Protein backbone atom coordinates (compact mmCIF):
# COMPACT_ATOMS: atom_id res chain seq x y z
CA UNK A 1 0.00 0.00 0.00
CA UNK A 2 1.38 3.41 -0.94
CA UNK A 3 1.75 6.37 1.42
CA UNK A 4 -1.17 8.03 -0.39
CA UNK A 5 -3.39 5.00 0.27
CA UNK A 6 -2.33 4.98 3.96
CA UNK A 7 -3.41 8.60 4.37
CA UNK A 8 -6.80 7.84 2.78
CA UNK A 9 -7.41 4.78 5.02
CA UNK A 10 -6.62 6.51 8.34
CA UNK A 11 -8.06 9.54 10.12
CA UNK A 12 -6.32 12.85 9.88
CA UNK A 13 -5.60 14.80 13.07
CA UNK A 14 -8.25 17.35 12.17
CA UNK A 15 -10.87 14.63 11.62
CA UNK A 16 -9.98 13.04 14.96
CA UNK A 17 -10.32 16.37 16.74
CA UNK A 18 -13.71 16.95 15.12
CA UNK A 19 -14.96 13.54 16.32
CA UNK A 20 -13.72 14.25 19.87
CA UNK A 21 -15.47 17.61 19.81
CA UNK A 22 -18.74 16.01 18.69
CA UNK A 23 -18.55 13.46 21.50
CA UNK A 24 -17.87 16.26 23.99
CA UNK A 25 -20.95 18.17 22.83
CA UNK A 26 -23.15 15.06 22.99
CA UNK A 27 -21.84 14.22 26.48
CA UNK A 28 -22.49 17.77 27.63
CA UNK A 29 -26.07 17.44 26.45
CA UNK A 30 -26.72 13.99 27.89
CA UNK A 31 -24.95 13.78 31.25
CA UNK A 32 -26.46 16.84 33.00
CA UNK A 33 -29.87 15.38 32.25
CA UNK A 34 -28.74 12.01 33.51
CA UNK A 35 -27.43 13.40 36.79
CA UNK A 36 -30.47 15.63 37.23
CA UNK A 37 -32.71 12.61 36.70
CA UNK A 38 -30.62 10.60 39.16
CA UNK A 39 -30.90 13.32 41.82
CA UNK A 40 -34.66 13.56 41.24
CA UNK A 41 -35.07 9.80 41.58
CA UNK A 42 -32.95 9.74 44.74
CA UNK A 43 -34.94 12.61 46.21
CA UNK A 44 -38.21 10.81 45.47
CA UNK A 45 -36.92 7.63 47.13
CA UNK A 46 -35.90 9.60 50.22
CA UNK A 47 -39.31 11.25 50.45
CA UNK A 48 -41.01 7.85 50.22
CA UNK A 49 -38.72 6.62 52.99
CA UNK A 50 -39.66 9.68 55.06
CA UNK A 51 -43.36 8.95 54.55
CA UNK A 52 -42.83 5.36 55.67
CA UNK A 53 -41.02 6.63 58.78
CA UNK A 54 -43.93 8.87 59.69
CA UNK A 55 -46.41 6.06 59.13
CA UNK A 56 -44.50 3.92 61.63
CA UNK A 57 -44.35 6.84 64.06
CA UNK A 58 -48.12 7.28 63.68
CA UNK A 59 -48.67 3.58 64.37
CA UNK A 60 -46.52 3.84 67.50
CA UNK A 61 -48.70 6.69 68.76
CA UNK A 62 -51.81 4.61 68.05
CA UNK A 63 -50.47 1.48 69.74
CA UNK A 64 -49.45 3.53 72.78
CA UNK A 65 -52.85 5.22 72.98
CA UNK A 66 -54.61 1.84 72.77
CA UNK A 67 -52.89 0.90 76.02
CA UNK A 68 -53.62 4.26 77.68
CA UNK A 69 -57.37 4.84 77.32
CA UNK A 70 -57.08 6.40 73.88
CA UNK A 71 -54.65 9.10 75.02
CA UNK A 72 -51.39 10.16 73.42
CA UNK A 73 -48.30 10.70 75.64
CA UNK A 74 -48.84 14.49 75.39
CA UNK A 75 -52.17 14.07 77.22
CA UNK A 76 -50.96 12.10 80.23
CA UNK A 77 -48.69 13.11 83.09
CA UNK A 78 -45.41 11.41 83.88
CA UNK A 79 -47.05 9.62 86.82
CA UNK A 80 -49.33 7.95 84.27
CA UNK A 81 -46.41 7.03 81.99
CA UNK A 82 -46.97 10.08 79.75
CA UNK A 83 -45.02 13.18 78.79
CA UNK A 84 -47.44 16.02 79.52
CA UNK A 85 -45.02 18.01 81.66
CA UNK A 86 -42.15 17.59 79.23
CA UNK A 87 -44.11 18.55 76.12
CA UNK A 88 -45.45 21.66 77.88
CA UNK A 89 -41.83 22.85 77.87
CA UNK A 90 -41.34 21.93 74.22
CA UNK A 91 -39.42 18.76 75.10
CA UNK A 92 -40.47 16.21 72.48
CA UNK A 93 -37.62 13.83 73.31
CA UNK A 94 -39.51 12.46 76.31
CA UNK A 95 -42.55 11.75 74.10
CA UNK A 96 -40.51 9.44 71.92
CA UNK A 97 -38.70 7.89 74.88
CA UNK A 98 -41.94 6.85 76.60
CA UNK A 99 -42.96 5.23 73.28
CA UNK A 100 -39.62 3.50 72.72
CA UNK A 101 -41.19 0.03 72.91
CA UNK A 102 -43.79 0.94 70.28
CA UNK A 103 -41.28 2.72 68.05
CA UNK A 104 -38.79 -0.17 68.42
CA UNK A 105 -35.97 1.89 66.87
CA UNK A 106 -35.06 5.61 66.79
CA UNK A 107 -34.01 5.24 63.16
CA UNK A 108 -37.55 6.13 62.07
CA UNK A 109 -37.32 9.53 63.82
CA UNK A 110 -34.84 10.72 61.22
CA UNK A 111 -35.63 11.87 57.69
CA UNK A 112 -33.05 10.47 55.20
CA UNK A 113 -33.05 13.79 53.31
CA UNK A 114 -31.49 15.47 56.35
CA UNK A 115 -28.10 14.28 55.14
CA UNK A 116 -28.51 16.55 52.10
CA UNK A 117 -28.57 19.62 54.35
CA UNK A 118 -25.04 21.09 54.16
CA UNK A 119 -24.93 22.52 57.70
CA UNK A 120 -26.77 19.72 59.48
CA UNK A 121 -25.22 18.42 62.69
CA UNK A 122 -27.88 15.80 63.33
CA UNK A 123 -27.27 12.09 62.98
CA UNK A 124 -29.49 9.03 62.91
CA UNK A 125 -29.49 6.97 66.11
CA UNK A 126 -29.76 3.21 65.85
CA UNK A 127 -30.82 2.25 69.38
CA UNK A 128 -32.66 3.78 72.31
CA UNK A 129 -30.47 4.36 75.35
CA UNK A 130 -27.89 7.04 76.06
CA UNK A 131 -24.83 4.80 75.69
CA UNK A 132 -23.60 2.76 72.75
CA UNK A 133 -23.66 -1.02 72.83
CA UNK A 134 -21.62 -3.53 70.86
CA UNK A 135 -23.44 -6.69 69.81
CA UNK A 136 -21.92 -9.21 67.38
CA UNK A 137 -19.27 -6.68 66.41
CA UNK A 138 -21.79 -3.93 65.62
CA UNK A 139 -21.67 -0.77 67.75
CA UNK A 140 -24.96 1.10 68.00
CA UNK A 141 -25.37 4.86 67.78
CA UNK A 142 -27.17 5.86 70.99
CA UNK A 143 -30.26 8.05 71.14
CA UNK A 144 -29.17 11.29 72.77
CA UNK A 145 -32.14 13.53 72.09
CA UNK A 146 -32.98 16.24 69.58
CA UNK A 147 -29.77 15.71 67.62
CA UNK A 148 -31.26 12.37 66.48
CA UNK A 149 -34.72 13.71 65.57
CA UNK A 150 -35.94 15.58 62.48
CA UNK A 151 -39.69 15.39 63.12
CA UNK A 152 -41.90 17.68 65.21
CA UNK A 153 -44.62 16.53 67.61
CA UNK A 154 -48.06 18.12 67.63
CA UNK A 155 -48.57 19.21 71.22
CA UNK A 156 -52.37 19.31 71.00
CA UNK A 157 -52.98 16.23 68.86
CA UNK A 158 -55.75 13.96 70.12
CA UNK A 159 -57.38 10.84 68.75
CA UNK A 160 -60.71 12.71 68.46
CA UNK A 161 -59.09 15.38 66.27
CA UNK A 162 -58.28 13.30 63.17
CA UNK A 163 -56.88 16.24 61.14
CA UNK A 164 -54.57 17.49 63.88
CA UNK A 165 -50.86 17.44 63.12
CA UNK A 166 -49.24 14.60 65.06
CA UNK A 167 -45.71 14.59 63.65
CA UNK A 168 -43.84 15.60 60.53
CA UNK A 169 -40.87 17.29 58.88
CA UNK A 170 -39.50 20.19 60.89
CA UNK A 171 -38.03 22.27 58.05
CA UNK A 172 -40.43 25.20 58.38
CA UNK A 173 -39.93 28.80 57.43
CA UNK A 174 -41.98 31.49 59.16
CA UNK A 175 -41.58 34.95 57.63
CA UNK A 176 -38.79 33.37 55.56
CA UNK A 177 -36.84 32.51 58.71
CA UNK A 178 -35.95 28.98 59.78
CA UNK A 179 -37.62 27.84 62.98
CA UNK A 180 -35.67 26.88 66.08
CA UNK A 181 -35.88 24.15 68.70
CA UNK A 182 -38.74 24.59 71.15
CA UNK A 183 -42.41 25.45 70.78
CA UNK A 184 -43.66 26.76 67.45
CA UNK A 185 -47.17 28.27 67.56
CA UNK A 186 -48.88 28.62 64.20
CA UNK A 187 -52.19 30.32 63.49
CA UNK A 188 -53.96 30.63 60.14
CA UNK A 189 -52.34 34.05 59.72
CA UNK A 190 -48.75 32.82 59.95
CA UNK A 191 -46.91 32.87 56.58
CA UNK A 192 -45.47 29.40 57.04
CA UNK A 193 -43.71 27.48 54.25
CA UNK A 194 -41.33 24.59 53.77
CA UNK A 195 -37.67 25.40 53.36
CA UNK A 196 -35.62 23.82 50.58
CA UNK A 197 -33.59 21.85 53.12
CA UNK A 198 -35.60 18.70 52.39
CA UNK A 199 -37.88 17.35 49.67
CA UNK A 200 -37.43 20.37 47.35
CA UNK A 201 -39.64 22.80 49.30
CA UNK A 202 -42.17 20.06 50.03
CA UNK A 203 -42.85 18.30 53.30
CA UNK A 204 -44.61 15.40 54.99
CA UNK A 205 -46.90 15.46 58.00
CA UNK A 206 -48.53 12.64 59.94
CA UNK A 207 -52.06 13.35 61.16
CA UNK A 208 -53.81 12.09 64.28
CA UNK A 209 -55.94 9.71 62.20
CA UNK A 210 -52.78 7.79 61.27
CA UNK A 211 -52.49 9.05 57.69
CA UNK A 212 -49.41 10.76 56.26
CA UNK A 213 -49.82 13.62 53.83
CA UNK A 214 -47.32 15.26 51.48
CA UNK A 215 -47.86 19.01 51.32
CA UNK A 216 -46.66 21.91 49.23
CA UNK A 217 -46.30 25.18 51.16
CA UNK A 218 -49.76 26.36 50.12
CA UNK A 219 -51.34 22.99 50.97
CA UNK A 220 -49.55 23.08 54.32
CA UNK A 221 -51.18 26.40 55.20
CA UNK A 222 -54.60 25.06 54.20
CA UNK A 223 -54.09 21.93 56.29
CA UNK A 224 -53.07 23.96 59.34
CA UNK A 225 -56.30 25.94 59.00
CA UNK A 226 -58.34 22.73 59.21
CA UNK A 227 -56.74 20.82 62.07
CA UNK A 228 -59.58 21.46 64.52
CA UNK A 229 -57.49 23.68 66.80
CA UNK A 230 -57.21 27.46 66.60
CA UNK A 231 -53.47 27.56 67.25
CA UNK A 232 -51.27 24.68 66.22
CA UNK A 233 -48.51 24.20 68.76
CA UNK A 234 -45.65 22.09 67.52
CA UNK A 235 -42.69 20.92 69.59
CA UNK A 236 -39.64 21.27 67.38
CA UNK A 237 -36.43 19.23 67.82
DSSP string, 24-90: HHHHHHHHHHHHHHHHHHHHHHHHHHHHHHHHHHHHHHHHHHHTTTT--GGGS-GGGT--HHHHHTT
Share the mean pLDDT of the chain. 86
Helix (H, G, I), strand (E, B) or coil at 148: helix
150-181 pLDDT, tens digit per residue, is 999 999 999 999 999 999 999 999 999 999 99
pLDDT at 36 over 50: no
Of 167, 230, 159, the residue nearest 203 (C-alpha): 167
Q: How confident is the model at residue 121 (pLDDT cuts 50, 70, 90)?
A: confident
What pLDDT does 43 receive?
59
Instruction: Report the pLDDT averaged over residues 101-111.
Output: 96
Report the range of poorest mean pLDDT among 49-63, 186-200, 218-232.
186-200
Amino acid sequence: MTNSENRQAGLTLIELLVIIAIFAVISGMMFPGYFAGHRKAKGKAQRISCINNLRQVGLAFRFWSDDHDGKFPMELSATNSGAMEAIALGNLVTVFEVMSNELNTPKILFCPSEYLTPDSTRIQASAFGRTSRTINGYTSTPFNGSSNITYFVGMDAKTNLPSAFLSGDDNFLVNDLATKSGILSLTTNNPVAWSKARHEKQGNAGLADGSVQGFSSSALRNALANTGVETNRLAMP
